[in-house]
Amino acid sequence: MSEHPVPSSPPSEGQSTPLTARTGARASEPSAPETARRRQIGLLVFDGVEELDVVGPWEVLSSWTRMHPEDGWDVFCMSVDGGPVVGAKSLMLGAHRSTGSAPRLDVLVHPGGSGTRPMLNDPEHLQWVREARRKVPLMASVCTGSLVYAAAGLLTGRRATTHWASLNLLSQLDPTVITDVRSRFVDDGDVVTSAGVSAGIDMALHLVARFAGTDRAREVRRDIQYDPMPPV
């Protein structure tokens, strides 16, 4: 499961109705062009999610979509039941929607964290990921979210990365994965994976560049003042 911004809350799922259907106008009368469907990015949240895995990409993607709604993209967070979750370091994180009520996705972002470990052996969640793969054009992951993708069979024979401490586990889950041990993120077409935690910010900026151009991504980077200069 590859172009474009989002309002503070996710938009409705329904597509616009042709003018003739809304107004009863005769078919021979000229009608206004139908509004294009806004593209949707969904960030999954769950108990035990690594907080920065979510909040980092959210800051990038929501800054972009709020500043430039004309790009045609929206972003929202979703949990299984639509309720809040408790992150790996005890931060409460909310969701805009449940996974069942989410609009059709163009991008799914699956974060990592300690909460991914039970998912590796959760048939229901792995099946949900496989079904998403069939429907969603671009599947992205942050940190150990890629372990879930590997367990679901999404990374067979593909380039991918994960948190440095989980690179061996990624290979164990699927020995065919071409593990990239150096990159902050790996774009393998319709699957994009990032290394650990803060690398999700880099990946999200890459997605902005991929969907809306490098200049747009640079604008977002300046807006959030992301210019890493570690003091240690």
H runs (alpha helix) in the chain: 19-23, 51-67, 116-119, 123-135, 145-151, 167-173, 199-212, 214-223
**Cα separation, 40 vs 103, whole angstroms:** 7
The residue type found at 22 is R
Q: What are 2's two structure tokens?
A: 């590859």
Catalytic residues: 143
- Spatial contact of 38 and 9, defined as CB atoms under 8 Å apart: no
**Cα separation, 173 vs 152, whole angstroms:** 9
**Cα separation, 73 vs 169, whole angstroms:** 34
The residue type found at 229 is M
